[in-house]
Structure 1
Amino acid sequence: MTRRKVIIDTDPGIDDAIAIMALLQAEDVEVLGLTSVAGNKGLDHTTTNAARILTFMGQRAQVYPGADRNLQAIEAEEALLRDDEAGFVHGVSGLGNADLPYDTSLIAQQQAVSFILEQVRRYPGQVDIIALGPLTNLALAVREDPTAMRHVRQIHTMGGGVYRGNRSPVAEFNYWFDPHAVDLVFQELGPYLPIYMIGLDVTHQGIINMNYLTFMQLEGGELGQVIYDMMAVYIHQYWKQDHYLGGVIHDLMAVVGYLYPKIYSDVYHAHVRCVTDSELAYGQTIVDLHQAFMNKANAYVPMDADISQYKYYVMELLFGSTQAKLYQQAKS
């Protein structure tokens, strides 16, 4: 079996953690390493959280620390210009109520940008990047060596939205956190390689209810209990905000769609820009689905998904086909 080579760029975060756990279970994927970035929490937290996930899953891949603030703050040599405002959603540690130890040897001395470029040069045209947080590390890698980054095989990024936001009425959190990085990555790499923007329009379709989570807890062993413990904080936030018992694991949709792209439908080849020059619309993705007003397409944007199939694949990845089939029987 030929295994796909993957770098996970991430800011764990509850939804990042569950998505990473699922991807680590995929037999046809070789995870080259995780690169951490500030976003859901500060860099120290996201780096150690990535190591916690790897330790819990028994993986020996390493975490390569990346950007501790957004591109604008790095360029200005200033502290983070926009505060970590998603932290409360993910709990104090960033992993909800889960208390996971970590192996310090899994945190590499090598930095994220150096690692990304090293792997892309070593395996030109073979490395996929799954970006589950702000795109700061990718933008810095493009700045350092745009030619090398054009040899990434494909990028799947969870972020943005065509018709909705979650940090503001129009901006999704990951892209709001560093819109300058988003715009740079899409403009510089979109003409050369496939970029899949997995936005809120499709991730919000994959809402996980309490029946699904309870099945994970009852039938998923230690992993199921850890996921349930992490999701407890999410559930509390969704109840306070929407009076809904459950939650959306946004990054999980990006991972499952990467592994099983046929779950997506209504996939548009579109031109995407990210707003950087407006306080009101800061971080908004402007998506020309029909290429009517802007330049050549630079992204693939799915707008719909087969949610029944998605939920089956989630169960299968995390707990195996037997448990996935059992869930199908239990819900019917």
Structure 2
Amino acid sequence: MKKIIIDADPGIDDSIAIMLAAGLSHFDILGITIVSGNVCVDKGAVNALRLSKFLKKDFNIYKSNPNPLVKELINAEDTHGEDGLGETYLPYEDREVKDGAVDFIIENLKKDEVTIFALGPLTNIARAMEKDIDAFKCARIISMGGNFKSFGNMSPVSEFNYYVDPEAADYVIQNSPNPIEIIPLDVTRKFVLTPNIIALMKSINKDVADFLENITNFYMDFHLKYENIIGSVINDPLVIMAHEFPEYFAKEKYHADVVCDGKARGMLMVDEKDFLKKEKNIILYRDIKTFPVWKNFIEILTAGEVDEEMLERIL
């Protein structure tokens, strides 16, 4: 069993990523640690409970300090809805969500080799590193964040997760004992969930597809209004897909910094040409083979088989 911690700010696409991870039987999901981002930690924890109910999975859920390291919190409720799940206000079973996300991360990293799927701002990871950097010696961190040559979604040069807590992102990149793996907007913008894909999924597993449609309707309206696309960019599931299917992703090692202040706040500054002659501290994902990733994505979520000819026609 592969031991996993999901650090997330659920969030629509975070929730889809959690659904994916839960569909992989060889994952031992030790817990879901909640960070403020798309919504505050309290709302994020409730959404983890909503997923727990829908998936019939008794996740260990841990909350954290609700604030970024330095900056005031900025959320994305305009994108994800006031409840974080497209204003669906889905039912959940009210049970205790523990505090202590940072300590939970450290304790589990000390026990075994663990992969952290970092789907939101890197606040929890940074605080854990500040407290016990040695715990991360064998940890693998895959982060959805930043943008390389694509335009940002918070500024011309900045992606949301790293914009929300740039100090945390930079701290993790500079201090991680192993190069942090980063999946930027350049890759995720090539992975757009469309109504046609949902329709295909309904022919395989209606319950899952209906749930997906329900939580993404708000998201699709946002993308049509602000990005002029029919569908929604679902960023975070690619963290799980990159872990499972590395052969469908292109990546390179670079040195990078995150700009913490000013007009370029949150910018992932990648030294592609090695001007600085510094140690390469990130593994940056640069491209994706969309067809096989979509095929596997759909099959994991629906627990069924995709008609490849149909999929090829709608992509």
Same fold, TM-score > 0.5, yes or no: yes
Percent of residue pairs identical: 32
Residues in 2 aligned to 1:324 and 1:193: alpha-carbon distance in whole angstroms: 39
- Residue aligned with 1:72, SS: coil
- Residue aligned with 2:305, SS: helix
1:127 pairs with 2:114: yes
Cα deviation for residue 321 of structure 1 reads: 3.9
- Residue aligned with 2:189, SS: helix
> Which residue number corresponds to residue 166 of structure 1?
153
Counterpart residue identity of residue 95, structure 1: L
Counterpart residue identity of residue 48, structure 1: V
Counterpart residue identity of residue 31, structure 1: I
- Residue aligned with 1:229, SS: helix
> Which residue number corresponds to residue 50 of structure 1?
48
Residues in 2 aligned to 1:236 and 1:217: alpha-carbon distance in whole angstroms: 20
> Which residue number corresponds to residue 91 of structure 1?
81
Counterpart residue identity of residue 122, structure 1: K
Residues in 2 aligned to 1:327 and 1:297: alpha-carbon distance in whole angstroms: 42
Counterpart residue identity of residue 189, structure 2: H
Residues in 1 aligned to 2:312 and 2:148: alpha-carbon distance in whole angstroms: 35
Alpha-carbon contact 1:216-1:224 (below 8 Å) kept = yes
> Which residue number corresponds to residue 252 of structure 2?
268
Distance 1:329 1:301, change over 3 A: closer
Gaps of 5+ in 1: 74-80
Counterpart residue identity of residue 187, structure 1: Q
Cα deviation for residue 326 of structure 1 reads: 7.8
Gaps of 5+ in 2: none
Alpha-carbon contact 2:142-2:182 (below 8 Å) kept = yes
> Which residue number corresponds to residue 291 of structure 2?
308
> Which residue number corresponds to residue 247 of structure 1?
232
Alpha-carbon contact 2:117-2:142 (below 8 Å) kept = yes
1:33 pairs with 2:31: yes
> Which residue number corresponds to residue 116 of structure 1?
105
- Residue aligned with 1:303, SS: strand
Worse overlay, 36-45 or 252-261: 252-261
Distance 1:275 1:220, change over 3 A: same
> Which residue number corresponds to residue 188 of structure 1?
175
Residues in 2 aligned to 1:116 and 1:98: alpha-carbon distance in whole angstroms: 30
The 5 Å alignment of 1:189-228 reads: 189=176, 192-228=177-213
> Which residue number corresponds to residue 20 of structure 2?
22
Cα deviation for residue 67 of structure 1 reads: 2.7
Residues in 1 aligned to 2:314 and 2:73: alpha-carbon distance in whole angstroms: 43
- Residue aligned with 2:88, SS: coil
Residues in 1 aligned to 2:25 and 2:271: alpha-carbon distance in whole angstroms: 36
Q: CA RMSD in A?
A: 1.8
- Residue aligned with 1:250, SS: coil
Counterpart residue identity of residue 106, structure 2: L
- Residue aligned with 1:205, SS: coil
1:322 pairs with 2:302: no
Aligned pair count reads 314
Alpha-carbon contact 1:9-1:133 (below 8 Å) kept = yes
Counterpart residue identity of residue 70, structure 2: Q
> Which residue number corresponds to residue 123 of structure 2?
136
Residues in 2 aligned to 1:329 and 1:295: alpha-carbon distance in whole angstroms: 43
Alpha-carbon contact 1:291-1:297 (below 8 Å) kept = no
Counterpart residue identity of residue 239, structure 2: A
Residues in 1 aligned to 2:247 and 2:209: alpha-carbon distance in whole angstroms: 26
- Residue aligned with 1:12, SS: coil
- Residue aligned with 2:190, SS: helix
Alpha-carbon contact 2:37-2:74 (below 8 Å) kept = no
- Residue aligned with 1:129, SS: strand
Q: Structure 1 length as normaliser, TM-score?
A: 0.90
Deviations 1:244-288 (A, max 9, x none): 2111100011211111111102x11011110013x2001101011
Distance 1:321 1:329, change over 3 A: farther
Residues in 2 aligned to 1:90 and 1:27: alpha-carbon distance in whole angstroms: 28
Distance 1:217 1:97, change over 3 A: farther
Cα deviation for residue 294 of structure 1 reads: 4.4
Q: Structure 2 length as normaliser, TM-score?
A: 0.94
Cα deviation for residue 329 of structure 1 reads: 7.4
- Residue aligned with 2:62, SS: strand
